[in-house]
């Protein structure tokens, strides 16, 4: 397993016997995130891929809110994949598919994408709290793959802390950024302008920025 991603289950929080991990952030942010996603996705139906599902709690919660959307969780970390499978089994949701093992540094993501065992053209790609705890090449692969697999009206939705015009949006984010870079020199809070440049190269454009609790943002990208 590639060692450049953050891992849940290492902070001493209890792990269920079936492998389900519990992320504290889920309990804080799942409702505000869905309030935005619900508007972004509208009355649409189709397939949405979550890139970097972590514990799997978010994708299960989102699936409960809209049964017309089929959700495809994904991750690279084996413990995360096991947790996603366990949460899927626990939730018994017909509109949550088995997790895909996706390496975002590969623009093709995984062999199942574009094949009979994976999703078709995607209504959306959702990615929360990934690009700042991964090398820049993960962001590059995220945008490249999204451009490849999103349908014509599809959207790429990012959630997390971001910089605006080179500046942090809050002192706490600046402290968090310093701690990330101290842990791994390739990590760090990304500037929206840099992500817009990546998006332009992938044929995508930033259409909306939504302020979120705890100094986070949601960025919504669409095709040019």
For the chain, the average pLDDT equals 93
Asked if residue 206 has pLDDT above 70, the reply is: yes
Percent over 90 (pLDDT), the chain:
88
Q: Give the DSSP letter string of the chain.
A: --S-S--SS-SS----TT-----HHHHHHHHHHHHHHHHHHTT--EEEEESS-TTSHHHHHHHHH-TTEEEEEEES-HHHHHHHHHHHHHHT-TTBPPPEE--TTSTT--TTTTSTTS--SEEEEEEES-GGGS-HHHHHHHHHHHHHHEEEEEEEEEEE-EEBTTB-SSHHHHHHHHHHHHH-TT--PEEHHHHHHHHHHTTEEEEEEEEEGGGEEEEEEEE-
Q: What's the predicted TM-score (pTM) here?
A: 0.93
Give residue 66's pLDDT: 92
Residue 9 has pLDDT above 60, yes or no: no
Average pLDDT over residues 67-85: 96
Structural domains of the chain sorted by starting position, each given as residue range(s) with its CATH number in brackets: 24-223 (3.40.50.150)
What would the pLDDT profile of 143-173 be if each residue is shown by its tens digit?
999 999 999 999 999 999 999 999 999 999 9
At residue 8 the predicted structure's pLDDT band, cuts being 50, 70 and 90, is low
- Average pLDDT of the residues in 91-95: 94
């Amino acid at each position: 397993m590639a060692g450049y991603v953050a891992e849940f289950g290492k902070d001493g929080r209890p792990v269920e016997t079936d492998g389900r991990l519990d992320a504290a952030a889920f309990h804080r942010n799942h409702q505000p995130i869905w309030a935005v996603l619900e508007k972004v996705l509208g009355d649409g139906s189709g397939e949405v891929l979550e890139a970097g599902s972590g514990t799997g709690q978010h994708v299960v919660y989102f699936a409960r809110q809209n049964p017309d959307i089929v959700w495809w969780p994904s991750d690279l970390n084996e413990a995360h994949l096991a947790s996603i499978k366990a949460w899927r089994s626990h939730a018994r949701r017909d509109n949550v598919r088995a997790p895909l093992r996706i390496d975002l540094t590969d623009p093709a993501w995984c062999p199942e994408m574009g094949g009979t065992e994976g999703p078709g053209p995607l209504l959306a790609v959702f990615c929360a709290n990934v690009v700042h705890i991964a090398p820049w090449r993960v962001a590059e692969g995220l945008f490249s793959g999204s451009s490849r697999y999103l349908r014509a009206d599809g959207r790429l939705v990012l959630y997390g802390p971001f910089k605006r015009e080179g500046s942090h949006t809050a002192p706490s984010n600046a402290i968090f950024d310093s701690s990330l870079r101290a842990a791994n020199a390739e990590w760090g809070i990304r500037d929206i302008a840099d992500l817009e440049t990546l998006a332009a190269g992938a044929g995508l454009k930033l259409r909306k920025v939504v302020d979120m609790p705890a100094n986070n943002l949601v960025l919504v990208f669409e095709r040019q």
